[in-house]
Amino acid sequence: MSVEASIAFGPEALSRFTQIIEEVSVDLIADGHSAELVRADGMRTKLALRLLSFAHSGCTHTQIKERLLRVSRNEISASRRLFDHGAEAKREGN
């Protein structure tokens, strides 16, 4: 039987986490990413899960925001490259 550690966050931390997710969303939209994509429930869920994992590792709020931005930008760019590659292959008949 395994016991998982549980960490609780108080109202102030949760409020700050919500603010960080909103700031990251605004920055991603400012980067030119679709507001619809950035504000989608799936994207916000990914941001929240990543935020919690970074918070458990002892990162500061600034570090959490920077990491979320970097990871999200990389993921969106990778998705675009895959989509573009797939569209190009389809045009070429592959």
This prediction has a pTM of 0.74
| CA proximity to 51, closest of 19, 78, 79, 26 | 19
Q: What is the mean pLDDT of residues 23-41?
A: 93
Per-domain residue ranges for the chain?
Answer: 11-92
Question: Do residues 6 and 48 lie in contact, with contact meaning Cβ atoms separated by under 8 Å?
Answer: no
pLDDT at 67 over 90: yes
The whole-chain average pLDDT of the chain stands at: 83
- pLDDT on residue 87: 58
Distance of alpha carbon 1 from alpha carbon 75, whole angstroms:
36
| pLDDT band per the 50, 70, 90 thresholds, residue 58 | confident
Residue 1: the pLDDT is: 43
pLDDT of 83 higher than 70: no
Q: 3 pLDDT exceeds 60?
A: no
Which residue in 27, 10, 72, 26 sits closest to 45, CA to CA?
72
> Which of 50, 87, 56 lies closest to 69, judged by CA?
50
Q: How confident is the model at residue 2, as a pLDDT?
A: 46
| Torsion angle (degrees, nearest 10) of CA 31, 78, 73, 10 | 140
